[in-house]
Chain A
Amino acid sequence: MSSSNQTDQINSNVYDIAPGEFDQGMTQGRKMFGNVMTGLVLSCVAIAVLPLASILFMLLSNGLVRLFQDFPSVFTELPPPPLVDGGGFRNAITGTLLTCLLGALISVPFGVLTAIYTVEFGQGNKLSQFVRFCTNVLSGVPSIIAGLFAYGIVVLAMGTFSAIAGGVALSVLMMPIIIRTTEEGLKSIPREVRQGLVGIGATNFQGVSSVILPASLPFVATGVTLALARAAGETAPLLFTALFNQYDSRGLREPIATLSVLIYNYAIAPYKNQNELAWAAALIVVLLILAISILARSLTSKKIY
């Protein structure tokens, strides 16, 4: 085929359409294909959302009744013995809050300072690369391993299950989340601001402590809340660290009840009342995590850069 022939073809009949004419048939076909694909994607989205929606539905339909029926008492009373009606799980609510708080007390200072080191002082040196790698590994460690770790260093050492051991186990899980979000926050500070700090003769420490860290606080707060949300729902690391307690814990050195372990224990118990309490507790945990996540979102929106 000669080249002039080819040009002819391109000009005249490749698209088989004359000037000023619209090819309705072809457009129809393309539209149809587009619609089918959109439908396909939407149905995938529906399938992805389905588990979450059904979990929420199950929790609401099974837990809400109990919450409303004995409204204040689920929050204010202790779990009843088997075959006794009523009761609540105030010990588990305070226990969850307490172990999460302990976890945060341990993980926030270490996590934030670690992030400050890797971003501001280490700046990509071997040690900070190593720390970052370890953080990634740590975030992939199964939570039951964190529980084993706390069992090994706290429970065995103290000779008893305790709220402290639970807090230590949770802090291991919270640490990587806090490190990562804090690192993100520190990295979000523009280079110009860092240069400005250097330009006025601020030392690295002065710059970080009075400008860079305060400006990254929304990120740090987001990280802390996300870590709390994660910790509030954890069961495995608490099973053999905080253990469980039928009553209010009288101190940090005693076994303590938590919502997640209460759900675990009561869901498999052969008593109807206990099963109902487990549903109500599950609903509370999900609502707690939802509230914390919303808080995290609103904190992120306060960011400066």
Chain B
Amino acid sequence: MTNPSTRPTSTNNAVSDDVVIRTENVSVYYGAFQAVRNVYLDIPKNKVVAFIGPSGCGKSTLLRCYNRLNDLIPSARVDGKITYQGIDLYDPKVDPVEVRRRIGMVFQRPNPFPKSIYENIAFGARVNGYKGDMDELVERSLRGAALWEEVKDKLKQSGLSLSGGQQQRLCIARTIAIEPEVILMDEPCSALDPISTLRVEDLMHDLKQRFTIIIVTHNMQQASRVADLTGFFNAEAGEGGSRFGYLVEYDRTEHIFNAPKEQATQDYVSGRFG
């Protein structure tokens, strides 16, 4: 068993830019079960960071710590420290609703609200106290999500009437409309066909000019296509036989895929397991 509590190497050369989110010795528990153990990881500004790894390695769990979505699970508990722009996200004085306004999220299954396309975007903005020109914001957000041309003539139609890929881009538009600093994406393409997947990936390249993106994916090609940095997570059986996830290696994407330092990473990216 490798020692998962050691800091993964090479974060220093990988992360030289401004750090938006800093993860220090973070462990996540569901009740007595430890899902993620001792993660150190820094997210630099305006980069796409991918989390890859086999199922049950805790990458989605960690992602959900960044916008305090795990708060919705009563038994979940986060140890260690996660800071956003130097602010401790789990400080009792921090309101989780405020966290989610600064750190947006796109989910695995497209989940537009049962409202019109226009309202799907306007609702999020209104909730966050947007006072400006709503028509302009809706258009700008839909353009930002590469959806405007397809829906500009049917903004009054229900968001649920769109195809899966369009729905997911609507969800991205909804997220960028509230202008968060970081966008979390939890396997955003796993429910989409390959063409829709490509469109969303293209979109990520554009979005990183303005946002920092963290994406969890099962698809290694996707990670290598979109990510500047990649973190490889693995699961291991701890004492008592329960499995916990940990960060094996975190580096520039090309290093992870071409010259990983850890054998487990090498095995995973070359398809020998997982």
Contact = CB atoms under 8 A, between A and B. Distances in A.
Which 8 A-B residue pairs are closest in the complex by CB-CB distance? A201-B101, A192-B111, A199-B105, A200-B124, A196-B111, A201-B100, A215-B114, A202-B127
A298 B184 CA distance: 41
Interface stretch (B80-88, B171-179, B200-208): B171-179
B175 A199 contact: yes
Contacts of B231: none
B114 A211 contact: yes
Nearest to A211: B113
Contacts, number: 66
A196 B113 contact: yes
Best-surrounded residue of A195, A199, A203 (most CB of chain B within 10 A):
A199
Nearest to B125: A200
Nearest to B99: A201
A214 B127 CA distance: 16
B122 to A, nearest CB: 11
A295 interface: no
A287 interface: no
A223 B241 CA distance: 49
B114 A193 contact: yes
A201 B123 contact: no
B115 interface: yes
A210 B126 CA distance: 11
Interface in A213-227: 214-215
A199 B67 contact: yes
B257 to A, nearest CB: 30
A202 B128 CA distance: 7
Interface string A187-200: 00010110111111
A196 B168 CA distance: 12
A199 B113 contact: no
Interface residues of B, number: 26
B101 to A, nearest CB: 4
Contacts of A44: none
A185 to B, nearest CB: 12
B261 interface: no
Best-surrounded residue of A190, A192, A201, A214 (most CB of chain B within 10 A):
A201
Contact of A200 (B72, B100, B114, B160): B100
A206 interface: yes
A304 B111 contact: no
Interface of B: 67, 69, 72, 97-98, 100-101, 104-107, 109, 111-115, 123-124, 127-128, 160, 171, 174-175, 178
B109 A197 contact: no
A192 B113 contact: no
Contact of B128 (A198, A200, A215): A200
B247 to A, nearest CB: 24
Nearest to A189: B114
Contacts of A195: 69, 72, 105, 107, 111
Contacts of B101: 200-201
Interface SS majority for chain A:
helix
B179 to A, nearest CB: 11
Contacts of B105: 195, 199
A211 B115 contact: yes
Given A192-B109, A206-B127, A304-B160, A199 B104 contact: yes
Contacts of B113: 193, 196-197, 211
Given A203-B97, A304-B160, A198 B72 contact: yes
Contact of B178 (A197, A198, A201, A210): A201
A193 B127 contact: no
A195 B128 CA distance: 16
Contacts of A203: 97, 127
Best-surrounded residue of A192, A197, A200 (most CB of chain B within 10 A):
A200
A200 B100 CA distance: 6
Nearest to A204: B97
Interface string A167-199: 000000000000000000000001011011111
Nearest to A216: B114
Contact of B114 (A198, A202, A206, A304): A304
14 contacts: A195-B107, A196-B113, A198-B72, A198-B100, A199-B175, A200-B100, A200-B174, A201-B97, A201-B100, A201-B127, A211-B115, A211-B123, A215-B114, A304-B160
Given A193-B114, A195-B107, A195-B111, A200 B69 contact: no
A226 B175 CA distance: 40
Contacts of A206: 127
Contacts of A199: 67, 69, 100, 104-107, 175
Contacts of A304: 114, 160
Nearest to B105: A199
Contacts of B98: 201
Nearest to A125: B74
B214 to A, nearest CB: 13
A210 B160 CA distance: 16
A215 to B, nearest CB: 5
A97 B24 CA distance: 66
A200 B111 contact: no
B217 to A, nearest CB: 18
Contacts of A198: 69, 72, 100
Contacts of B106: 199
